[in-house]
Amino acid sequence: MTEKVMQLNQIHSRHHVFWVFIIVHFSVLLFSAFSADIPPRKILNGEKKKPRKVELHIEDNRVFIDNGLVEVTIENPSGHLSGIKYKGMLNVLETRNNNNNKGYWDIVWDNEAYDKLATQHVKIITETDELVELSFTKMWDITKDHGNSVPLNVDKRYIVRRGVPGLYMYGILERQENFPDAHIYQIRIAFKLNEDKFHFMAISDTKQRIMPSQEDRDESRCQVLAFKEAVLLTNPTNPQLKGEVDDKYQYSSENKDNKVHGWISDDDAVGFWVITPSNEFRTGGPHKQDLTSHVGPTALSMFVSTHYTGTEMDVLYKKGETWKKVLGPVFMYLNSASWDEARHYRKALWNDANRQLREEIQSWPYNFTASEDFPHAQQRGEVNGQLLVRDQYESLDKQLMQAKSAFVGLAAPGYAGSWQTEGKGYQFWTQTDNTGRFTIKMSDQGRNKINLGTLIYDPPRNGPTLWEIGIPDRTAAEFFIPEPNPTFVNSILNHDADKFRQYGLWDLYSDIYGHGDLVFTVGVSNYSKDWFFAHVPRRIGNETRATTWQIKYELQEVNKAGNYTLQLALAAASYAEVQVRINNPDANLPHFTTERIGYDNAVPRHGIHGLYRLYSINVPGNGFQRGNNTIFLTQTRCHDSFEAVMYDYIRFEGPAV
């Protein structure tokens, strides 16, 4: 059964209008979960001592916040984070960098311009024994700043709490009506950690290892591969890494899974973690992929980007359009392990970071932030309901089915599926339980509780299933992913679930199908072995050529007067075009074409999906014949190996009954 997005109901709050969006998956979705079986902690964060009160000191060019566990230094008035003192480490950030290149916000905007959001004023928002919150601000001036800095009013907030070993950061960005047009492609916070200390990176239970250094990416120590982000380590400072590939996109993660990642200093048994307890301020929905940590050592908190979506992400802010948004808070957590954990300190630090993540999630939305633009729990609304699915061809008794594990969300109004490319507002997502019930807590100053009752979803279908290829889960992960070329392996990805992120898999299509393109026979072929994960051009010598895949199937009977439907769901597309022909590969005009679609670049960025697209293609019965039939899928674009599509799911339906 296919999946589709459905707009169900309009929800009004005092400040926002949302549509309810639902993603229905009819396969069981498995998500990474942090183990609850964590041994007793021996993490040293000073919790056995009575926490010291928080102290604030402001100098002409620096601001210090100290709670006895961490001492935070912020440049005054730029608002750049220049130091974090923790345990015996005088600074966990890279001291050799300039202050604007240690811990900083940045934005990529018009024509790839780059702005690190240096501010002009500092203000004490809260100063008590329990908490200090500071505000670093800049008001955009059209007479001075036009063309020189991104047209935004900026308010960067820092919070240090008593007894908490870390730092909370959030930002309030605003555009006024008279601000000029601007494209804002990326908004993030970046942390450049001490290169002499932090070498071990952890971004999931399985993706953890000693990493190359920034020096290892110099041309004298590596070979640049098909694009600048990917390099082959030829002479790394750590000989054990020789022959491995490094590419920051190999460490990407979906928003729903990107909750904690960071680095460990082996010398000190100290961890630095970026913890994101909510996705409501991120764009693109729960499946949007983005960067996490990578060589530097660099840790990122991504809020907005065009990664895996391209310019289809809505990033144009028009003159006359007012806008204001709170990004964060996110939490920079520090921990350390005791000596009796020396043999297992990495695991202990990682487990403790996940324990802290659970605490932060339970505390969301935070009640200690002072900005009126960030509503606390008592200021938020709630939406409840139950989702049922009606599919007369899937359920033999035609009973309504409970939508288990479906994603249900609130997002800005738009066309079905527009939440994927919605780049400016908030999104609130949850998953249904085993009975299809859900509860969404949303930003709503009116504190409304809305019960949507029972929602019935009619999936896209025109007739009974004659055959299907794949699983409707918005990814190509179930298809054939070849073993990577041993010359281009990244050992952090040595798990089946991550194999699709290995470098150069696209090139293996030409090796496997060197003498002819893919042919899939329904009832004989196995899509996990015989359907390549990406429909890419075929390399012949120094040229790349368009490829045509065939789906062969048999029809016992044909209703010449009826209409058949080809449900074609794409998991990704980049500068591609899929043409569909029925039984005649040489027809001048295809029966259907997607035309040129996609900018998501998912193939070279090692993503198993980008933006989802669904095409319901009507085919008159007189185009088929009794017995053997063939559907030809031609990906016509072939300037390079990255003009490609990934299929999510294909279903062939007979005429309506």
What pLDDT does residue 48 have?
58
Q: Are 450 and 206 in contact (CB under 8 A)?
A: no
Write out the two tokens for 535: 């429909």
Q: pLDDT digit string (tens) for 264-299?
A: 999 999 999 999 999 999 999 999 999 999 999 999
DSSP 455: E
What integer is the mean pLDDT of 503-509?
Answer: 97
What integer is the mean pLDDT of 380-409?
Answer: 88
Q: pLDDT digit string (tens) for 197-232?
A: 999 999 999 999 999 999 999 999 999 999 999 999
| pTM (two decimals) | 0.92
Write out the two tokens for 635: 């990906």
What pLDDT does residue 427 have?
96
Q: Indicate the pLDDT class of residue 330, thresholds 50, 70 and 90.
A: very high
DSSP 180: P
The string of DSSP codes covering 231-255 is EEESS-SSGGGTTBEE-GGGG-EET
List residues bridging with 367 in a β-sheet: none
What pLDDT does residue 444 have?
66
DSSP 53: P
Whether 448 shows a pLDDT value over 90: the answer reads: no
DSSP 400: -
What integer is the mean pLDDT of 94-116?
Answer: 96
* Averaged confidence pLDDT in the chain: 92
Could you tell me which of 357, 303, 79, 308 has the C-alpha nearest to residue 189?
303
What proportion of the chain, given as a percentage, has pLDDT over 90?
A: 86
What pLDDT does residue 345 have?
92
For residues 562-574, one letter each, b for 16 or more C-beta atoms within 10 angstroms of the residue's C-beta and e for the rest, the string is: bebbbbbbbbbbb
Which amino acid does the sequence have at 596? R
Whether 350 shows a pLDDT value over 70: the answer reads: yes
Which amino acid does the sequence have at 239? P
- The angle at the Cα of 118, spanning 113 to 121, to the nearest 5 degrees, equals 150
Q: Are 472 and 569 in contact (CB under 8 A)?
A: yes
14 compared with 189, residue with greater pLDDT = 189
With 0-12 / 13-18 / 19 or more C-beta atoms within 10 angstroms meaning exposed / middle / buried, residue 229 is middle
What integer is the mean pLDDT of 531-543?
Answer: 94
Q: pLDDT digit string (tens) for 487-499?
A: 999 999 999 999 9
Strand residues in 193-322 grouped as ranges (E): 198-202, 208-210, 222-224, 231-233, 245-246, 253-254, 260-265, 270-275, 289-290, 293-294, 298-304, 316-317
Q: H or E stretch including 466?
A: strand 465-470
Q: pLDDT digit string (tens) for 251-271?
A: 999 999 999 999 999 999 999
Q: How many other C-beta atoms can be found within 10 angstroms of the C-beta atom of residue 626?
A: 11
What SS3 state is found at 475? coil
Q: pLDDT digit string (tens) for 127-176?
A: 999 999 999 999 999 999 998 999 999 999 999 999 999 999 999 999 99
What integer is the mean pLDDT of 598-627?
Answer: 97
Q: Are 352 and 41 in contact (CB under 8 A)?
A: yes
What integer is the mean pLDDT of 593-622?
Answer: 97
Which residue shows structure tokens 């230094």? 73
Q: Are 430 and 400 in contact (CB under 8 A)?
A: no
Q: Are 545 and 557 in contact (CB under 8 A)?
A: no
What pLDDT does residue 395 have?
66
Q: Is the dihedral of CA 209, 213, 219, 220 positive or negative?
A: negative
List residues bridging with 564 in a β-sheet: 619
Whether 6 shows a pLDDT value over 60: the answer reads: no
Q: pLDDT digit string (tens) for 10-61?
A: 454 444 555 666 665 433 222 222 233 333 335 555 445 689 999 999 999 9
Rounded Cα gap, residues 58 and 81, in angstroms? 14
Q: Indicate the pLDDT class of residue 5, thresholds 50, 70 and 90.
A: very low
Rounded Cα gap, residues 199 and 163, in angstroms? 27
Which amino acid does the sequence have at 120? Q
What integer is the mean pLDDT of 78-88?
Answer: 97
